Structure 1
Amino acid sequence: MLAMPNRPALLRLPLTAAIAAAVLLTTGIAGAQAKPAKPAKAAQAVKATASKSASVRRASADTVDLAAARTGLPASVTAALRRANVPLSAASFYVVKVGAPQARVSWNAETPMNPASTMKVVTTFAGLQLLGPDYRWLTSLYADSEPTADGTVRGNVYLRGRGDPKLVPEEMAKLVATARNAGATTIDGDVVLDRSFFADAAEGTYTIDGESQRAYNVNPDALLYAFKTLSFTITPDAAGRTVDVAVTPALAQLRVENRLTLTNGRCGDWRSRATPNIAPQPDGTVVATFEGTYSGDCGERVVNLATLSHSDFIWGGFVAEWQAAGGRFAHMPGLRSGAVPRGAFLLSRHYGQPLGDVVRDINKFSNNVMARQLFLTIGAEMDRSGPASTARSAQVIRRWLTRQGLDMPGLVLDNGSGLSREERISAYDMARLLQQALASDVGYTLVDSLPILGVDGTLRNRLTRAHAAGNAYLKTGTLADVRALAGYVDATNGSRYVVVAYINHPNASAAQEAHDALMEWVFRGAP
């Protein structure tokens, strides 16, 4: 059992005792103006105060021990919850050795809780089983006509997406290269975007916290490109005279105006000075303007901004990659939306990275938009009755769970990423799913996708020097009032445990110590 850190006795006193102690201290300071106490009485007063402090410590320890006995949790966990001012009623835990008939810990385990990003475990396991680890998303480029002898494509070209969550510049370059190798050199028409694989409502404008330019809030799209996020890298030059600004991905309509001046001194609030003003211009270009000073002490910094619409982003990315590959346009192409016409000529098709690799990115780095892309893809591929929607995906996953024998009456699926105030699952149901996943044919792939404690992903800086480091594979989750943990811990006794822990409370952010204590306790074999 972990030892509780020592704290000054005064901090553990009830309010009346704390006031009494404060009075005693004040009297001592002002002793010259007070009638001196007789030595015997003074000693008795000190002894009585010490006795009260010891009683308070015993009462506090007794409370922790009672909570531990009632929940089955170790005292280190219940004590950490008390220090964070999180009541046991706001937490749920389920710990079971893989294959054991009975849980080692089960507290509030069947109460549906907001799981935050641990909901990605449900989405990725469903995707791996329903679509298969080798599933690849398809992005296609069509044209109104076959390229002429001189390589001119007369008419429009059509980009049709099927929700690839990792259509990044390197992948777009492959799509373009295939079209160029097929003989296309010049496009004499517009770029038409076919985004019909996802329902129009899939994009939406809702964000969980109103931060619409944060990358984690990007909404899904059938033609998601580079996570719809611009990454600006600000770097002072080695000579200490100028500040360089680079941006990825390249967008044809984007122009950077760098007016930053390099200064000396403390770095301070670098972000406010290194965040550009992004403004569309009358000629159709978009200008990102950097102004003000930037301290060389800041070194290289990166600013990520989710800006522009999905349509503008993919159009600019395609045009830039076409030109980078040596392709030309008879005139700057316009941007349109529409379906690929029947009989259109296929210029190029590109299959993205396999789902098994994508799942690693989703879980290791808790990528919300990639999880949402997968969630919608599951519905679209398994139910071909129409464009993807969150409702259709939720129905498909519920039917799949039922076939697995995992009926979950308290499960609430919203977008599949956990970036939601609506999603719910109980610790017990999540543990059942983790047990099922481990026994499945995709168990290794799923476990391999989870962050490793103290090693990588969202757990790379957690308990790095603890004995449990390197022996726990867990998905984390945090929202303003949620802290969550779900996955596997390999214990010193050779057993593997399924561990699920949820806290739903305004003080959840202060309760990481409770989850850390739980992981270390399980690692020691849940003694």
Structure 2
Amino acid sequence: MARQVPGTLPTAIVSAALGIVLAGACVWAAGPWSGGQRVSERHDRVSAAAKPSAAASRDSAAPSSPSPSTRSTGPAHTPAAAALVPVLAGGKPGGTVTGEELAGVLRPLTAAPGLGKHVGVAVADPSSSALLFDDNAGEGFAPASTNKVVTAVAALGALGPDKRLTTRVVRGPDGPAGPAIVLVGGGDPTLSTQAAPADPAWRPAALDDLAAATASALLAKGVNSVTLGYDASLFGGPALNPTWSAGYTDGNVAPVAGLMADEGRARPADELSPRVAEPAAAAAAAFAERLAAHGVKAVGKPAATSASGDQVASVASPRLADLVEHMLTVSDNDLAEALLRQVAIAGGKPATFDGGVAAVRDELTKLGVDLGGLQTVDGSGLSREDRISPAFLVRVLSSAAADDHPDLRAALTGLPVAGFTGTLAEDGRYTSPQSSAGAGLVRAKTGSLTGVVTLAGLVRDNDGQLLVFALMADQAGDTAAARAAVDRMATTLAGCGCGAAG
């Protein structure tokens, strides 16, 4: 049974007079925010057939300066417990909208220009296993980044919302050059060399903090010079999925490694920076620089090794719930692939693409999710060989809203808010006459590859009924037109009751 949070939702939430006011209130309560800035999806407009140019691959999570039209005016973040108000507040258990009503308003929209010939739509009330609307809902589609919803739910189920990823420094065996230490990766790609973000709720672990704590411990023992090794063995290979375009490392994803800083960017402050070939070695070099700044010199070049000594210092990532929210809001490919491997580790499988995919399937089975319609090879949706059905995405979203799975709720609170946060607050989305009424009301994960446009999330309709939906097109001829079409469909659901939509 889907969770019914106490509260009252006005039935006139999509009226033109109150729309933007309610939208702002929804976003204020909803969170999460990404430093108050709009963030692009990481793999939009990437060609799978050829290496893309930097301009072609900017579906990455690059914060852009908010334009004057940016509507984000609320506080930076609110706790997850309050994050679904009013989207999940109150409402009518079971609802009143019918499949016939949905078909009348949605089916004409599936033929919108730009969507192409392969379109799938699934809509359901999460309290029921039956679909309210089914248009090719059982067919497999390239999901693009809506695959991250699957990764998010599996990670929360396998690890729990309070799990943190720890990066450590341990003592190594002393050698001719003297004392040795080893930097040990905990699979946290958000480990940062940068200043703390403006968003007070998003505080990734800082490499400088780890260096400071390490230096303090060493200096207290009279050690001011060490040899430095690094251990990235937590994750196995291959580091890049063989089905990915070679051009993805131009700015969309780094080689997956158990140790990295700044998600492997060659220019850490630039979200669109190309990625380094060896993230672990780059992280160790950055750590050595910071260690020296705190009074301890690392002699020679850091070398790959294994770690087994006593711990010297450590830093921990944000809670897994916060990592999941961040991943979904900004569509973070590196974090998605790291979490896929964390699921594998929790499930006792190799921390590889194959092990992660198998572990995700096992975890979803434990959660009671029917696996029909799920065939993936990665955790981010970058692969064009991924196939997910709209019906499956609806089942996964419904599981995250269920009473018996409260630990999965971050998979919903992390969904971007239409027109306000993350990947739904850019490129003019939810600003047109056909979709602006959905601003602040629709919460959904976007997905984009060249020719692929997807959207999966939740909304309350005009009668207060909670609906989960998945809208997918993987033969889209015009990306902008296809996005406008799926945004209009989601907005139509918000206006359902259902004759008010059109």
Contact 1:414 1:423 in 2 (8 A): yes
Amino acid at match of 1:159: L
Alpha carbons of 1:177 and 1:451: their partners in 2 closer, same or farther (altered >3 Å)?
same
Residue 340 in 1 paired to residue 314 in 2?
no
Counterpart amino acid of residue 382 in structure 2 = L
**Aligned position for 1:172:** 207
Deviation at residue 475 of structure 1 after TM alignment? 0.3
Which shows bigger deviation, 101-110 or 205-214? Answer: 205-214
Preserved CA contact (<8 Å) 1:76 1:517: no
**Aligned-pair CA distance for 1:77:** 6.1
Q: Residue 292 of structure 2 aligns with which residue?
A: 323
- What secondary structure sits across from 1:230 in the alignment? coil
Instruction: Pick closer, same or farther for the CA change 1:475–1:464 going to 2, 3 Å.
Output: same
Report which stretch shifted further, 356-365 or 98-107. Answer: 98-107
Report what 1:399 is aligned to: 362
Question: Is the counterpart of residue 502 in structure 1 residue 472 in structure 2?
Answer: yes
**Aligned counterpart for 2:230 among listed residues 156, 169, 193:** 193
Alignment map for 1:47-126 (pairs within 5 Å): 73-74=103-104, 78=108, 81-84=111-114, 86-87=116-117, 90-100=118-128, 102-126=130-154
Cα deviations by residue, 1:507-526 (Å, 9 ceiling, x for unpaired): 16231222122112100125
Partner of 1:442, secondary structure, is helix
Question: Which residue identity is paired with 2:305?
Answer: G
**1:480 — aligned with what?**
450
Is the partner of 2:188 in helix, strand or coil?
coil
Identity of aligned residues (%): 24
Cα separation, 2, equivalents of 1:127 and 1:512 = 28
Alignment coverage as a number of residue pairs:
379
Q: State the Cα distance separating 1:220 from its structure 2 match.
A: 1.4
Contact 2:341 / 2:351 at 8 angstroms: preserved in 1?
Answer: yes
Q: Give 2:40's aligned residue.
A: none
**1:190 Cα shift?**
3.0
Distance 2:150 2:354 in 1: 16
Cα offset, 1:506, TM superposition: 4.5
Larger RCO (alpha carbons 8 Å, 6+ apart): 2
Q: CA deviation at 1:187?
A: 5.3
Q: Which residue of 254, 261, 266 maps to 1:230?
A: 266
Counterpart check, 1:182 vs 2:217: yes
TM-score, normalising length from structure 1?
Answer: 0.66
Per the alignment, in what secondary structure is the counterpart of residue 120 of structure 1? helix
Amino acid of the structure 2 residue aligned with 1:375: L
Where does residue 377 of structure 1 map in the other structure?
Answer: 342
Larger Rg: 1
Residue 97 of structure 1: how far off its partner (Å): 2.7
The CA distance in 2 between the partners of 1:186 and 1:220, in whole Å, is 33
- Long gaps (5+) in structure 1: 1-68, 147-152, 232-247, 250-300
Equivalent-residue separation in structure 2 for 1:106 and 1:522 (angstroms): 14
- Alpha-carbon distance in structure 1 between the residues aligned to 2:444 and 2:365: 25
Report the alpha carbon displacement of residue 345 of structure 1 after superposing the two structures with TM. Answer: 3.5
Which ranges in structure 2 are unaligned for 5 or more consecutive residues? 1-98, 194-204
Instruction: Please give the per-residue CA displacement for 1:224-272, whole angstroms capped at 9, x wherever unaligned.
Output: 21111133xxxxxxxxxxxxxxxx46xxxxxxxxxxxxxxxxxxxxxxx
Secondary structure class of the residue paired with 2:437: coil
Task: Look up the SS of the partner of 1:357 in the other structure.
Answer: helix
Cα shift readout 1:377-407 (whole Å, capped 9, x = no counterpart):
1101220x6x411222222221222222323
Partner of 2:379: 416
User: 2:179 matched to 1:155?
Assistant: yes
Q: For residues 143-165 of structure 1, give each alpha carbon's deviation from its aligned partner in whole angstroms, at most 9, with x where no partner exists.
A: 2369xxxxxx9232211112112
Give the C-alpha shift of residue 180 in structure 1.
2.2
Equivalents in 1 of 2:145, 2:389: separation in Å? 14
**Which structure shows the higher helix fraction?**
1
Contact 2:166/2:316 (8 A) holds in 1: yes
Match of 1:32 in 2: none
Matched, 1:515 2:486: yes
SS of 1:501's partner is strand
Q: What SS does the corresponding residue of 2:375 show, helix, strand or coil?
A: coil
Per the alignment, do residues 172 and 99 of structure 1 end up closer, same or farther by CA in structure 2, a change over 3 Å counting? same
Q: Distance in 2 between matches of 1:460 and 1:426?
A: 26
Q: Which amino acid aligns with 2:191?
A: L
- 2: CA distance between counterparts of 1:85 and 1:189? 59
Summarize the Cα distance change of 1:373–1:162 in structure 2 as closer, same or farther, 3 Å threshold.
same
Alignment of 1:336-375 (within 5 A): 336-341=303-308, 344-375=309-340
The aligned residue for residue 13 of structure 2 is none
Q: Is the 8 A contact 1:481 1:504 kept in 2?
A: yes
Give the partner amino acid of 2:232: R
Alignment partner, residue 25 of structure 2: none
